[in-house]
Amino acid sequence: EITDDLAMLQSFFQKADTQEFKNEIKRIAEIICSRQKVFFIGIGTSGTLGKYGARFLSNLGIKALYIDDPFYPAEGGDYRDTVIVTLSVSGEQPILHKQISGFKDGKALIVSITNTRQCTLANISDYNISYYIPMKVLPGQYNVTSQVPLVYILESIAYKCKAIKEKNKNNE
């Protein structure tokens, strides 16, 4: 089983090493850098990693916050200068879709990071990046899909944001 996990991660990292994937990371970093407010959201393990993503980005000088309540009322707000980074393996959490709809109605840009583009969350997002690895769900519906690709994506986006901010600062 460990061999299968290593093969799966090797396959992901081969994809991550392509120019197309690097361009997706850059595009999302540019979006994040273009907004004044950055919020991460997610549920379960994805939520925990959303907290990590917000902290990692903040550690690099790009202030970001994490919303840990999937019932946070997003309706009726003005989010024109906000990007919402939404994390979900399946992309099929109805409560998350409702929350995203509220942010979208307030004109926030929505970036989702999901396991596949063939999910509701990816479809309702303005931008999506997906990592395509086999999902693992234990009895009782406990999702234990590897989060290594997500951590790599979050850190790559954060480092690219830092580089963009430094370049913009040097050009002032």
Nearest to 52 by CA among 35, 40, 44: 40
> With contact defined as beta carbons under 8 Å apart, do 103 and 75 qualify?
no
Average pLDDT over residues 61-69: 94
> With contact defined as beta carbons under 8 Å apart, do 62 and 38 qualify?
yes
Q: Write out pLDDT tens, residues 10-54.
A: 999 999 999 999 999 999 999 999 999 999 999 999 999 999 999
As given in the structure block, the two tokens for residue 170 are 């040097």
Instruction: Report yes or no on whether pTM surpasses 0.85.
Output: yes
SS3 104: helix
Q: Write out pLDDT tens, residues 69-122.
A: 989 999 999 999 999 999 999 999 999 999 999 999 999 999 999 999 999 999
* Contacts with 71 (C-beta within 8 Å, 6 or more apart), sequence order: 95, 99
Nearest to 114 by CA among 152, 95, 86: 86
